[in-house]
Amino acid sequence: MALVIGGIVSLQFGASVAVLLFPRAGALGVVTLRLVVASLVLLLICRPKLRGYTRGDWATVLAFGVALAGMNSLFYEAIDRIPLGAAVTLEFLGPLILSVATSRRMLSLLWAALALGGVVLLGREGFDGLNLLGAGFALAAGGLWAAYILLSARTGQRFPQADGLALAMTVAAVLSLPLGIVSAGTALLDPVTLGLGAAVAMMSSVLPYTLELLALRKLPASGFAVMMSLEPAAAATAGFLVLHQTLGWAEVLAIGLVVVASVGAVRGARSA
């Protein structure tokens, strides 16, 4: 539980810092900085071995890297157009559907419904006049988020420690690099941009993905997916503290709903 919650908080505060960086490098440029820095850090720390793996292992890492690159690029394009809370709310539909599809307990439907109610309530005000392209990017990112959950679990089973994550992050960085260069150009070399990009990489990639990968070794995919209902609440909090987006009573109530749903999901996973 602590690993998942720590990853959620780090990820959403990193996303709010990324929004502040968009005027300097654009959404794709920030994604590139985030993934490149994160891959370098993970490669230096993990020093993954390249021998002794099967074709299936490498196929899993490649698919994981593609999911990482696509999920991050689509999400950053979304938060460049719509509020952070609304974007996370729409993106969360992917893991929520996964939680219902993979669970074998009827009680999970209750927790999923409760979490969905909180997610809808949290994003209610943000949906007014929502940019349709931004909403589409968020929904597509949600689909890749569900794929990320499954591929992260498989990668953790096939590779020791965080080696698989380091390799997958490198794949994602290589895929995003051409788009970032075309989008941002020389802005990627600005010292301030590089420094902020490195901070975003640590907060939004290195720390949360490592914590989640370790957590998925102990939590089932269904329980993990419902726990991710805390994402909209964390996004609303980060938006309030960093981006000065205010919270109303509806948002506060929504946070309570998703917390209850998360606690119920974790207790149900432990019982199973």
**In sequence order, which residues have a C-beta less than 8 Å from that of residue 105 and are 6 or more positions away?**
268, 272
Question: What predicted TM-score, i.e. pTM, was given to this entire model?
Answer: 0.82
Please check the confidence at residue 271 and state whether its pLDDT lies above 80: no
DSSP string, 158-202: HSSTTHHHHHHHHHHHHHHHHHHHHHHGGGGG-HHHHHHHHHHHI
Cα–Cα distance between 155 and 169 in angstroms, integer? 12
Q: Looking at 38-52, 73-87, 120-134, 137-151, which range is the least confident one?
A: 120-134
Q: What percent of the chain has pLDDT over 90?
A: 26
Q: What is the mean pLDDT of residues 149-157?
A: 87
Residue 83: per-residue pLDDT? 80
Within 10 Å of residue 57's Cβ, how many Cβ atoms?
A: 17
Residue 91: per-residue pLDDT? 85
Give residue 71's identity as a one-letter amino acid code: M
Residue 162: per-residue pLDDT? 81
**In sequence order, which residues have a C-beta less than 8 Å from that of residue 145 and are 6 or more positions away?**
71, 91, 92, 94, 95
Residues found in the chain: 272
In the structure, what pLDDT confidence band is assigned to residue 65 with cuts at 50, 70 and 90? very high
